[in-house]
Amino acid sequence: MSMDDIQMLIKFLGGLGIFLYGIDRMGDGLQKTAGHKMQQLLGALTDNPVMGILLGTGITAIILSSNATTIMVVGFVNAGILNLSQAVGIIMGANVGTTVTSWIVSMNEWGELLKPELFSPILIVSGAMIRYLSRNGKAKQAGEILVGFGLLFIGLGFMSEAASAYRTNKELLELFTNLGRHPFLGIVAGLFVTVLLQSSTVSVGVLQVLALNGMISWQTAVFINLGQNIGSCAAALRSSIGANSTAKRAAVIHLLFNTIGAVIFGTAMVLIFRLNTQLADSPVTSVGISIFHTVFNVSNTILLFPFAGFLVKASGILIREGTSASGCSLDSKDEMKRHLDNRILDTPSFAIESVTHEVVNMGYAALENFDMAARVLLTDDGSHAYQVKKMEQKIDDYEKIITDYLIKISNQSLNEEQHLIVKNLFYTVSDFERISDHCENLSELALEKNKRNIVFSKEGDKELKEMFQSVRSSLEHAIKARASSDMSEVRAVVRSEELVDNLEEEFRERHILRLASKACKPENGVIYLDALNNLERISDHAHNIAGFVRDEM
């Protein structure tokens, strides 16, 4: 290999790196811009495959990566958020959505004004100035998209310039010709390159660079592109390692979908090229690849959509059902870990939605603990005291698992709104844990009350019941506020908190009067006042949680 060859290879690889980084920056910027709307997409998930296709198309068009979408689907299935019927539609849609990038790459064939060397520097300079000079979060994200867009085409320019040096290389042209004349070899080549680059978006981009330099024919491009579509399944298959059997089936469905489509279209294109040898041997353009890539993925989706149920059944034959990745049943702690799947982290909007759901579950666990503590204290039934302690340990586990996941999310690329939500979720988890601590305190006060044969006066007992009821209302509304981001729930917490504060002050004064009149013994009063204090603190934590929700709106 000559020095010139080495220089061209370095230039091509450098351009490939810039191209990949540009796509990543664009996708990251688009995802940040979509922000809360991406989270709302999760709520659109239904068993309707058509909705799934539209959802998969939209998500992939935003993040510019079908690999990321299918990996996310595997994560959602593994977490139990998606079932296989929903996954099928999203996987089909992801294949359609990935064609967006190929059209972006082919833009420089649309006209002279869209030549990379003309507008890429303008995009990069404009985006960089907006990114670093603007204080507005949305503007910064727009700048990030522009920089990514410009880098994408700079990378394409580098690759194209390096490839142009070999547009007359006989050995290379003969290789591409043979790949076109032997469909199986072309498909294998496309599959291998895609697996090697770990991205069908990048491998299709490389193919389009070769087309820009007139180095490949239609038949070569078609069979390589079919192989690229099969190769795009490698990321999901690799991601499913260690997941449960249902998640593995989702990855297999992706493979079956693309492979069946490649076989059908490959057979049809062999017949077409034999009937029209002029088309087969004519040079393909970058736009031509975009057209075929789109036609294949859209047609394949339309063709196999009625057989979505068959794909699910076929995946069940290839991957046998199991209860979990290890073949054993899951307890609640392991189930939470499964729900907070690391595969979802690459799409922070969905990761935030998923972890919020688990924070709400933690809140309901704290509410359950509150009810048990109330039963122990108000009914003198000590049998539930152990259950309160056990639930407190469970909530401590929840706190650690969720906090670890929130740390992972915070290390992702987030917009300002997402940073605020993650920060507030950190605080919310801590508040729920402290609420459970106070529940344990109440349970211990009840055990002490029973041990010392303490009996509250009728007035004291009635006051505690009223206090428990008001605090429970505050806590329940706070959990609902966190779950739904509903301002009416936030306002309900504020009203309950004000009521609790007033009741705490009023009941404390009444108790002092009872002590003064000797209607209550001092030793009774210590437990009563401690109970009031713990209940008031629980309401304070509920108010904190509602306040975090209010700050996000």
CB atoms within 10 A of CB 306: 9
- Backbone CA torsion sign across 41, 44, 46, 49: negative
326, part of any domain: no
Same domain as 27, residue 153: yes
Q: Does residue 36 register a pLDDT over 70?
A: no
User: Does pLDDT of 312 surpass 70?
Assistant: yes
Residue 324 lies in a domain: no
Residues 342 and 312 in one domain: no
Residue 478, phi then psi, degrees to nearest 5: -65, -40
Token representation of residue 328:
């054993």
**pTM for the model:** 0.77
| Confidence bin at 282 (pLDDT 50/70/90) | very high
Q: Report residue 30 as tokens.
A: 């688009």
Per-residue model confidence (pLDDT) at position 382: 67
373 Cβ partners below 8 Å, 6+ apart? 384, 388, 439, 440, 442, 443, 446
* Interatomic CA distance for residues 111 and 537, integer angstroms: 67
Statement to judge: residues 286 and 367 lie in one domain:
no
- Work out the burial of residue 164: count CB atoms within 10 Å of its CB; fewer than 13 is exposed, 13-18 middle, 19 or more buried: middle
Task: Output the average pLDDT for the chain.
Answer: 85
Q: What pLDDT, on a 0 to 100 scale, did the predictor assign at position 65? A: 78
- How many domains would you assign to the chain? 2
Q: Which of 235-249, 373-387, 463-477 has the highest mean pLDDT?
A: 463-477
Mean pLDDT of 24-35: 74
Which of 352, 366, 477, 498 is CA-nearest to residue 40? 352
pLDDT band, very low/low/confident/very high, at 418 (cuts 50, 70, 90): confident
Q: Above 50 in pLDDT, residue 323?
A: no
Which band of pLDDT confidence, cut at 50, 70 and 90, is reported for residue 85?
confident
Tell me whether residue 419 is exposed, middle or buried, using C-beta atoms within 10 angstroms of its C-beta: 0 to 12, 13 to 18, 19 or more.
middle
Of 1, 55, 304, 27, nearest in space to 151 by CA: 27
In angstroms, the CA 319 to CA 317 distance is 6
Residues 422 and 293 in one domain: no
Q: Which amino acid would we find at residue 11?
A: K
CA angle 17, 21, 25 (to 5 degrees): 170
Token couple for 447: 């055990």
Token pair 């844990």 in the structure block, residue: 433
SS3 115: coil
Which one of 318, 346, 361 terminates a domain?
318
Q: Contact 287/109 with Cβ under 8 angstroms?
A: yes
Q: Which residue has the higher pLDDT, 415 or 186?
A: 186
Confidence of residue 333 (pLDDT cuts 50, 70, 90): low
Helix, strand or coil, per DSSP, at residue 217 = strand
| pLDDT attached to residue 79 | 74
Q: Is residue 276 part of a domain?
A: yes
Q: What is the CATH number of the domain that holds 385?
A: 1.20.58.220
The Cα angle at residue 490 between residues 487 and 491, in degrees rounded to 5: 90
Which of residues 110 and 360 earns the better pLDDT score? 360
Categorize the per-residue pLDDT at 329 as very low, low, confident or very high, splitting at 50, 70 and 90.
Answer: very low
Over residues 278-299, the mean pLDDT reads: 93
Lowest mean pLDDT among 158-167, 355-364, 383-392: 158-167
User: Is 330 part of any domain?
Assistant: no
- For residues 351 and 287, state if they share a domain: no
pLDDT of residue 426: 95
Q: Is residue 331 part of a domain?
A: no
**How large is the average pLDDT for residues 379-401?**
86
Q: Measured in Å, how far apart are the chain's first and last C-alpha atoms?
A: 62
| Any domain includes 325 | no
Q: What is the pLDDT of residue 520?
A: 65
For residues 417-438, give the mean pLDDT. 94
Does residue 95 belong to any structural domain of this protein? yes
Both 397 and 314 in a single domain?
no
By mean pLDDT, which of 31-40, 78-87, 211-220, 281-290 is the weakest? 31-40
Answer with the residue of higher pLDDT: 180 or 369. 369
459 has a pLDDT exceeding 90: no
Taking the C-alpha atoms of residue 31 and residue 68, their distance in angstroms, rounded to an integer, is: 12
| 467 contacts 500 by C-beta, under 8 angstroms | yes
> Which pLDDT does position 331 carry in this prediction?
46
| Same domain, residue pair 29 and 108 | yes
Q: Could you tell me which residues come within 8 angstroms of residue 306 by beta carbon, excluding any fewer than 6 positions away? A: none
State which of 260, 286, 318 marks the end of a domain. 318
Per cent of the chain over pLDDT 90 is 36
> In terms of domains, do 151 and 197 share one?
yes
Structural domain that includes position 424 = 336-551
Region 430-456: mean pLDDT is 87
Distance from C-alpha of 462 to C-alpha of 454, rounded to nearest angstrom = 16
pLDDT score recorded for residue 112: 55
How much of the chain exceeds pLDDT 70, in percent? Answer: 91
The neighbour count for residue 317, using CB atoms within 10 Å, is 9
Q: Is residue 329 part of a domain?
A: no
Residues 398 and 526 in one domain: yes
| Domain-terminating residue out of 318, 350, 384 | 318
Residue 302 token pair: 């339309």
CA 538/CA 532 separation, integer angstroms: 10
Distance CA 57, CA 290 (A): 16
Q: How far is CA 296 from CA 227, 360, 408, in A?
A: 12, 43, 37
Q: Assign 534 a pLDDT band (cuts: 50, 70, 90).
A: very high
Using one digit for the tens of pLDDT, what is the confidence trace for 95-107?
Answer: 999 898 888 888 7
Do 385 and 285 share a structural domain?
no
Angle at 348 between CA 343 and CA 350, to 5 degrees: 75
Does 436 or 461 have the greater pLDDT score? 436
**Quick one: 415 and 310 in the same domain?**
no
390 in the same domain as 282: no
> What pLDDT is attached to residue 122?
84
- What is each CA distance from 494 to 103, 452, 532, in whole angstroms? 52, 37, 19
Q: Is residue 328 scored above 60 in pLDDT? A: no
pLDDT of residue 254: 93
Q: What is the mean pLDDT of residues 456-484?
A: 90
Summarize pLDDT for 237-279 with one digit per residue, the tens: 888 887 788 889 999 999 999 999 999 999 999 999 999 989 9
- Please say whether the beta carbons of 21 and 171 come within 8 A: no
String of DSSP letters for 137-184: HHHHHHHHHHHHHHHHHHHHHHHHHHHHTTTT-HHHHHHHHHHHHSHH
Res 115 pLDDT > 70: no
